[in-house]
Amino acid sequence: MNSLVAAYPSWRRVLEILPPNVVVVDDEGVICHVAESVAELTRHTSEELRGLDVRSWAPTWHLDARDVTSDARKVLATRLLDRHAIDLKDRDAQRRAVDAFFLPLALEGKAWIVAAMFDGEALRHESAREVREREVESRLHAAGVVAELEERFRHAFDDNMAPMMMTDLDDCILAVNNAFCQMIGWTREELMGRDSTSFTYPEDLGISEVTHHRLTSEEVSQARYTKRYLHKDGRVVIVEISKSTARDVRGNKLYFVISERDVTEERMLSAQLSHQALHDPLTGLANRAVFEDRLSLAHARVRRLGGLGAVLLIDLDDFKGVNDMHGHLVGDQLLKDIAERLEQETRSSDTLCRFGGDEFLYLAEGLNSSDEAEFLALRLLEVLAKPMTIAATQLEVHASIGVVIWDGDTVDHSEIVRNADSAMYEAKRRGKGHHVVFTPSLQQQAVSRFALTQELRHALSVGQLTMHYQPILDLATLKVVGFEALMRWQHPERGAVPPNVFITLAEQSSLILELGILALRESVTAASQWTPADPHAAPPFVTVNLSSRQFRDPELVPSIVASLMESGLDPERLVIEITESTTLLDIAETLSVIEQLNRLGIGIALDDFGTGYSSLSYLTLLRPKIIKIDQSFVSPPHPNVQNDTLLETIVSLGQKLNMTVLAEGIETEPQLQRLRELGCHLGQGYLFTPAVPQEEALRLVGQTMATEKKASSFSKK
């Protein structure tokens, strides 16, 4: 390769146009190129002359490139100097006169002088001289135009914000611009003459080789592709490359021009957006869209290869209580910690996702038996049951899991999640920390449950739900001193729907809050009408049951105050019933609500006492007005000495703590007699009467109840 072209690639096109007998001198006066025909005029070779000061060879050389092209950074318009006769020194220091035409050029950021020389004596005829001069002038003019274009290209190349590179046909670097050097951290000097393999990411070398082969084999004239570079500091740079072939006027390939774009941040942002679209922003787990895709693929694999798959729907118990008691920040952190625990138990072949809210889905593949799915459910429940501390608060988390096991005969994979939900609901019905495997009967139950929930919503809107009141008696006198408010639903087609059915349905949705407001409003309104015939007798109180969700509703106390003001009922005649499990969700929050109610004069009754697992020390903190002994102690299915001892202990405990003891579910005269012997204060049960409508309750106010009726004559409450 010509040394001038090797150092300054732009000269390639200029030399192609110049006359064959030229000399190129740089701005230092150094000969950079000599045509062999010119060198032979002085019996030298071009190699001997290159690198010499031009004046040592041409003593009459009078041009300085820096003077002629005063601004080397600005491409000057082509201008021809007059023809000059100059002397050249031959090998023997003899001078030889030649004619020269001069052309100043600004190229590659430098000033140059091009001299086209020929032996004037060789042109004997004037016409021949004129032809030669016109040819030289034409070529010099064309070369000047090309040089100007090359200089413009150089500026566009060097100053371009886009990284650019030129390589020869062997892919060795001829030129790079500043933007390219900055992109990969290498200097121009370090890059010249190298190929791109030295800074290409190893795994992407094949991309470069394939593209280079396609270009050199004329399969394509330009190509666009993406690959990775290794920055000098070790970072990976992702680039989008446009590579095209530069050709001469005859169509021959000269070199490659490469324009590049750093898309590293763009790809990272795209990956981030893609991740966000497919993952839960809080926990980082896969979202529902990913799960459904994985489930579809897993279903197809099982149908093709056999085996079993399983989906586990994990739903946290009482998670709303955590949010209500500790705030959403604690709730969010709890979800993140739970997600982390579950991830640690997830096999590499399985998929875990956050399904929404406090629900997670686990897809297990490659199972050999249904026992493996149940073992997985038990392990996950065990992991979740371990206490966790968040913001200095220790929380015990329980979950319910619905399990669906499926094989290749399962027709529709979209039903799998619905079936898991049905199984999960059954697990919740059985209590905290359970798992249930789906069976077809559960699906029918789910359909029935949904239909009944819709009917309950309709019943609430049209007034089918009513309040009944079961009398509470002073066991010493058997006089009615209060009533427990109980909701009843008389369905127009189903008949009486048991409270344990529709109340459970309501607790699974926001309906429980609406039912609670209805019960509270109706009960205090009814109680305001209970006026004893004896003006000296105390009017009866009313007890209203609250679920854990109602008790932690921020609108509870304002709703109670509004109902009392509307009805005019004395707050001391209202008692709110809560269970032990409700108080244990958060003792601090429970005490706060109880304190607000106590300040209003409203009493608290602790329902189902003795069936829970709370510490007896909580009684001194809660200080309920009434302790309600659960029916299982009052009328056990199999009476024995141990049960009687527990009953005696509970009554005695209430007396010593100065709390009123109320026995539920009194059904026989011997049970009544025993409670009287123990000194139990209050009681209620079928021995006296079941819950009655408001009209009957008005009649019973202040009356003494007869006990001749047998419990068997009443339907269970």
Strands 222-230 and 236-247: antiparallel
User: Mean pLDDT, the chain, as a whole number?
Assistant: 83
Predicted pLDDT of residue 570: 94
Q: Which amino acid is at 262?
A: D
Q: What CA–CA distance (Å, rounded) separates 214 from 357? A: 54
Instruction: Please give the average per-residue pLDDT across 488-506, as a whole number.
Output: 87
CA 379 to chain centre: 26
Residue linked to tokens 């890059």: 191
Listed in sequence order, the residues at least 6 apart from 655 whose beta carbon sits closer than 8 Å to its beta carbon are 661, 679
The more confidently predicted of residues 389 and 157 is 389
Instruction: Please name the helix (run of DSSP H) or strand (run of DSSP E) that holds residue 170, with its range, or none.
Output: none
The strand pairing partners of 435, in sequence order, are: 401
Q: How would you write 357-406 as a 3-class SS string?
A: CCEEEEEEEEECCHHHHHHHHHHHHHHHHCCEEECCEEECCCEEEEEEEE
**Do 300 and 367 touch, CB atoms closer than 8 A?**
no
> How far is the C-alpha of 549 from the C-alpha of 578, rounded, in Å?
11
pLDDT digits (tens, 9 = 90+) for 202-245: 888 888 888 888 888 888 888 999 999 999 998 999 999 999 98
Q: Tabulate helix, strand, coil % of the chain (nearest 5).
A: 45, 25, 30
Q: How far apart are CA 244 and CA 256, in angstroms?
A: 6
pLDDT tens, position by position, 104-125: 888 877 888 888 887 766 555 5
| Half-sphere exposure in the Cβ direction for 133 (13 Å, CA) | 14
Burial 349-367 (b: 16+ CB within 10 A, else e): ebbbbbbeebbbbbbbbeb
CA angle, 194 as apex, 191 and 199 as ends, to 5°?
Answer: 75
Say if strands 603-609 and 626-629 run parallel, antiparallel, or are unpaired: parallel
- Which of the four pLDDT bands, split at 50, 70 and 90, describes residue 717? very low
Beta bridge pairs of residue 466 = 488
pTM, rounded to two decimals: 0.50
What are the chain's domains? Answer: 3-156 (3.30.450.20), 164-268 (3.30.450.20), 279-438 (3.30.70.270), 465-713 (3.20.20.450)
575 to 45, 386, 476, 570, 578: CA distances (angstroms): 119, 36, 21, 11, 10
What is the rounded CA–CA span in Å between residue 99 and residue 105? Answer: 20
Residue 71 pLDDT greater than 50, yes or no: no
CA of residue 254 relative to chain centroid, distance: 51
Instruction: Output the pLDDT for position 275.
Output: 63
**8 Å CB contact between 470 and 690:** yes
> Token digits for 603?
């009493």
The distance of Cα 505 from the centroid of its chain, to the nearest Å, equals 32
Instruction: Give the largest Cα separation in the chain, rounded.
Output: 156
In single-letter form, the type of residue at position 195 comes to: D
* Stretch 286-312: mean pLDDT: 87
Strand intervals (E) in 202-324? 222-230, 236-247, 253-262, 308-316
pLDDT value at 195 more than 60: yes
Residue 244's contacts (CB-CB under 8 Å, 6 or more residues apart) are 221, 222, 223, 256, 257, 258
With contact defined as beta carbons under 8 Å apart, do 64 and 29 qualify? yes
Cα–Cα distance for residue pair 526/114, rounded to 1 Å:
115
Q: Which pair of tokens denotes residue 69?
A: 């092209």
Quick count: other Cβ atoms within 10 Å of Cβ 565?
11
User: In this structure, are residues 369 and 307 in contact, taking their beta carbons and an 8 Å threshold?
Assistant: no
Question: Edge-to-edge strand order for the sheet containing 253-262?
Answer: 173-176, 164-167, 253-262, 236-247, 222-230
Give residue 685's pLDDT. 94
Banded pLDDT at 73 (limits 50, 70, 90) = very low
Contacts of 422 (CB under 8 A, 6+ apart): 402, 438, 442, 443, 445, 446
User: Do residues 385 and 433 touch, judged by C-beta distance below 8 A?
Assistant: yes
Q: Which pLDDT value is given to residue 127?
A: 53
Let me know how many helices (H) and strands (E) the chain has, helices first.
28, 26
Q: Please give the distance of CA 617 from its chain centroid, rounded to a whole number.
A: 44
Class of residue 592 by CB neighbours under 10 A (exposed 0-12, middle 13-18, buried 19+): exposed
Contact 395, 387 (CB under 8 A): yes
Question: Per residue in 611-620, pLDDT tens?
Answer: 654 556 667 7
Q: Specify burial of residue 645 (Cβ count, 10 A radius: 0-12, 13-18, 19+).
A: exposed
Per-residue model confidence (pLDDT) at position 122: 54
Give the residue from 339, 408, 325 showing the smallest Cα distance to 588: 325
Query: What integer pLDDT is reported at residue 310 of this predicted model?
Result: 92
CB 502 within 8 A of CB 456: yes
pLDDT at 125: 52
| Integer Cα distance of 186 and 199 in angstroms | 9
Residues 431-470 pLDDT 10s: 778 899 887 666 666 667 778 888 888 888 888 899 999 9
| pLDDT at 626 exceeding the cut of 80 | yes
Residue 138: pLDDT above 70?
no
The CA radius of gyration of the chain, in Å to the nearest whole number, is: 48
Mean pLDDT of the 388-402 span: 84
CA distance 644 to 629: 12
Question: Of all residues in the chain, what percent carry a pLDDT higher than 70?
Answer: 86
Q: What is the pLDDT of residues 278-293, one digit of tens each?
A: 778 888 888 888 888 8
Confidence band for 99, pLDDT divided at 50, 70 and 90: confident
Model pLDDT, residue 79 = 46
Range in 301-315, 409-423, 681-695 the model is least confident about:
409-423
Mean pLDDT computed over 508-530: 90
Model confidence at 681: pLDDT above 90: yes
- What amino acid is encoded at 452 in this protein? L
Kindly give, in sequence order, each residue whose CB lies less than 8 Å from that of residue 178, ignoring residues fewer than 6 positions away.
158, 159, 188
